[in-house]
Chain A
Amino acid sequence: MSDTQLRLGIGLVVASILLPSLLGSAYWAHNFLIVNLFVTVAVAQNMLLADAGQVSFGHGAVFGMSAYLVGIISGLWGYDYAIGALAGVGGALALGLLFALPSLRVQGYYLGFVTLSAAVVFPEMLVAFNDITNGINGINRTVPSLTAPLFSGLSWLSFLVMALTVATLAGHAWLRTTSAGRKMRVAAVSPEAAMTLGLDPGRLRFLAFTIAALVTGLAGTLYVPVLGFVSPYAFRVDLSIYFFFCVIVGGQGQLLGPLIGAWILYLVPNALLADLANYRLLGYGIIALLIMLVFPDGVVGSIVSFSRRHRLRARIAGIGIDPVLSWAGIRPSQESGAAITVRGARKQFNSLAALGGVDLTVMAGSVHGLVGPNGSGKTTLLNVVSGFIPLTAGSVQVRDRDTTRMPAFRVARLGVGRTFQTPRVFEQMSIWENLEIGADVHSGNNNWLMEMLEPFRGEWSENNPDLLAHAQRRVLEILRTVASDADILLLDEPAAGLSAIERRDFARLIRFLRDRLGKTVLLVEHDLALVWKVADRITVLDAGRIVAEGPPDAIATDPRVRALFTGSPDA
């Protein structure tokens, strides 16, 4: 699907630049140069919004920053165009990173508002610093060496624009196949899941903002030779909104989306209402509103989901654990002693003590069950060990490293993997990619699990996990954790929603993890039957305190535990 979109996209870009010139229409040739620059920025915006999950409304300002620096340095100050372009890209990068800064602290509409405000302010600053920018008069700067016709109306500039647009489209497609691109998408969909894989969402956001600013900056440098003129008017907030709408109208996340969106929003008002430039804004607004109400997936997105729905899809066999369990090797635990040590853990939420001084020792190579009624603090304790929640008092150790104050992604890098109550499975990626994210953070060279699953690669790469039933998603999430080579696994209510047979398979999988792979498992679970069967030791929590600890037999017959679970003091 994405290959088709890429090929189509490249074809459209090349044709849109070559054809008008070859057919002798200078008007359309000029317009399509502008459109392709806008497509380039929109692709960057698409990557930022859909792949990195960042709502940035201010890309017109980044674009304008680059164009204006070219104008100032090569136009007003008389330096070479190349120097201006270099500074333009640098300026765009600087502004892009400034946008990224608040993204560390706030997300969603807050970030949208900050960046939108920046886009409102940018042209005002161009006017305010008029002794540098020449104010509302703008700057004239033509670059004849680029715009001189080579043959049939085409210039070096035509090819530069074509190359940039094609490279950006192809680059976006390529980014998605890379480990960095996958990590970015994971961090966008679920920052928690990303952190449990050892990824730092903040850094990935910075990376995305940097890439977007670089591409937008490059497009900005070409804007000057195309137009021969820059003015504050061209970089008003409308331009930023236009870029954002291009992505929405085309279909966010679709490779071809921004191109189609940019074409529709630029060309439709231009072709239909060429004399009435004032109607253009109205066109943007109405098209964006209608698309959102009628085709919320955008034009390309709707076509994709329509064709998907009407294509008979071969049901895939699904993800079974049998091929994994059939693995012949044994990798016994290399460690002994305590894998996790929690001492005197207290956690206070306002007036509520979620944990009131908990000690917990999980031995390496064992399955440790953590049970208790609702609200007893099990998940809080798991979150404390993962590094999601800082303790009010007490300490946490992973092996011999103190992790009490460590952020989650650093804890994960010590080999602590985890699953969530709702499996974190990423619908936008193929099943195979969902596994590959795990392998991406694997430190060693050979990943036996991925090698073992190689026969399924073709099938799993073709299909997205939207086909998978709940139990298979659960398995996929655990396999991903195994692929990441974490040797301590924290499982949060993994058996919820599994059928009787699935639970039995699941118990086998947990034993396999311990006996054959030497993993340490901390299992938070409601399903006591499962815990009795697979756990080596069990800790019982109630109201943030430990009620009992010991081997399953002792716990199952402990009167305090019976009373706790049945609510009967006399049980």
Chain B
Amino acid sequence: MDDLLIIAVRGIGLGSIYALVGISFNVVFNASGILNFAQGNMLVLGGLFAFLVLPLAPDVTQWMIFLPLAAVALAALMAVQGGITLLPLRSSVEQHSWLITTLAASVIIGAVLLLYQGAVQQSVHSPFANFSLAGTRVPATYAASVLLALFWYVALRLFHTKLLVGLAISAIAQDMDAARAAGIRVRRLQIGAFAISGLVVGSAGFVAAPMMAIANDSGLAYVMNGFVAAVVGGLGSNLGALVGGALVGVVSMYAAFEYGGEFQNAVSLGLLVGVLMLRPQGLFGRPAARRV
């Protein structure tokens, strides 16, 4: 029983990272139809930011100051990446160029990390003490990461329903042609969506850094699990990403506990294939709406 509780708590903690990556996926996907392979390495860069700016034993004030900076830094980087990714889509007939450009961006970031820090894993310390929940000790980072996922879920919901620019981005997702006819500058807002996605993933990397592997080759595993979370929940649905993330986290934590850490990703892959074969639209996804 205790084991299951630990698995559940740790799984949800881990899953919150996947949920955050999944949400950041959705932001870009909804606005542009692009799935950004580099999202995992962007997360790692958020973690690296924490590693670089936080002292070995950070205090809460320092942490609070640097958190928004990490988000903004990644937002700027992702806006640049978005601009580059959308560039070939402007004229070329090659609509799937983004498959390659985002994969290349991911490889480049990984390579830069390798050159910068070598093939090592960095770790970051959290300024918060562990606390206990239902008798188990829970690292504060887990709670912070879960709270961050909930924060972004609510914030994005408000953004997309209250702010005019958020409404415009939603409009692009709902009907691109009608949005253009309404005078909405699609390309600009798509780059904006990349930046917002950067805010999400940058803050996620910063907050979750103490439980992440900050290494040149860990990005792909995060992007993969984030994608699984998004697909399980239903691509495009942030609520789905939250639930999907928790599910993927708990299942892979269970696999790690039962069979060993090497099986975490294998189990996620199995989950992905299972969902795609049985219910490709995911838990909360709607079958593609017909446009007559």
CB–CB B96/A108 < 8 A: yes
Which stretch of A151-159, A186-194, A276-284, A506-514 is in the interface?
A276-284
Cβ of A349: which chain B residues have Cβ within 8 Å of it? 290
Tell me, yes or no, whether B272 is within 8 Å of chain A by CB: yes
Interface residues of A in 327-378 (CB under 8 A from B): 349-350, 352, 375
Tell me, yes or no, whether A116 is within 8 Å of chain B by CB: yes
Interface centre among A102, A117, A282, A352 (most CB of B within 10 A): A117
Tell me, yes or no, whether B123 is within 8 Å of chain A by CB: no
Interface residues of B in 1-40 (CB under 8 A from A): 35, 37
Main secondary structure of the interface of B (DSSP, over half): helix
CB–CB A117/B104 < 8 A: no
The listed residue (B35, B101, B259) touching A289 by CB distance below 8 A is: B101
CB–CB B103/A241 < 8 A: yes
Minimum distance in angstroms from B229 CB to a CB of chain A: 12
Tally of chain A residues near chain B (CB < 8 A): 44
* Chain A 218-237 interface 0/1 with B at a Cβ cutoff of 8 Å (1 = within): 00000000000000000011
Tally of chain B residues near chain A (CB < 8 A): 46
The listed residue (A125, A236, A278, A289) touching B104 by CB distance below 8 A is: A289
> What is the chain A residue whose CB lies nearest that of B35?
A109
Question: In the complex, what distance in Å separates the CA atom of A282 from the CA atom of B269?
Answer: 27
Interface residues of B in 87-107 (CB under 8 A from A): 87-88, 92, 94, 96-97, 99-101, 103-107
Which stretch of B155-163, B204-212, B217-225 is in the interface?
B217-225
Tell me, yes or no, whether B114 is within 8 Å of chain A by CB: yes
Which stretch of B71-79, B127-135, B182-190, B260-268 is in the interface?
B260-268
Tell me, yes or no, whether A124 is within 8 Å of chain B by CB: yes
Cβ of A292: which chain B residues have Cβ within 8 Å of it? 88, 97, 100-101, 104
The listed residue (B101, B110, B265) touching A293 by CB distance below 8 A is: B101
Cβ of B84: which chain A residues have Cβ within 8 Å of it? 289, 293
Cβ of A352: which chain B residues have Cβ within 8 Å of it? 292
Question: In the complex, what distance in Å separates the CA atom of A279 from the CA atom of B111?
Answer: 7
Interface residues of A in 113-161 (CB under 8 A from B): 113-114, 116-118, 120-121, 124-125, 127-128
Question: In the complex, what distance in Å separates the CA atom of A55 from the CA atom of B269?
Answer: 17
Cβ of B52: which chain A residues have Cβ within 8 Å of it? none
Minimum distance in angstroms from B225 CB to a CB of chain A: 9
Tell me, yes or no, whether B147 is within 8 Å of chain A by CB: no
Tell me, yes or no, whether B194 is within 8 Å of chain A by CB: no
Tell me, yes or no, whether B167 is within 8 Å of chain A by CB: no
Cβ of A127: which chain B residues have Cβ within 8 Å of it? 262
Interface centre among B105, B118, B269 (most CB of A within 10 A): B269
CB–CB B280/A105 < 8 A: yes
Minimum distance in angstroms from B166 CB to a CB of chain A: 26
* Chain B 231-267 interface 0/1 with A at a Cβ cutoff of 8 Å (1 = within): 1000000000000000000000000000110110110
Minimum distance in angstroms from A551 CB to a CB of chain B: 32
Question: In the complex, what distance in Å separates the CA atom of A14 from the CA atom of B263?
Answer: 43
Tell me, yes or no, whether A174 is within 8 Å of chain B by CB: no
Tell me, yes or no, whether B60 is within 8 Å of chain A by CB: no
- 23 A-B contacts, Cβ less than 8 Å apart? A57-B103, A105-B280, A106-B276, A108-B96, A109-B96, A110-B280, A113-B224, A116-B224, A117-B269, A120-B269, A124-B266, A128-B259, A128-B266, A241-B103, A241-B107, A278-B111, A278-B118, A285-B108, A289-B101, A289-B104, A289-B105, A296-B92, A350-B290
Additional A-B contact list (7), CB under 8 Å, known A105-B280, A281-B114, A288-B104: A109-B35, A110-B276, A117-B228, A124-B262, A284-B104, A289-B104, A293-B84
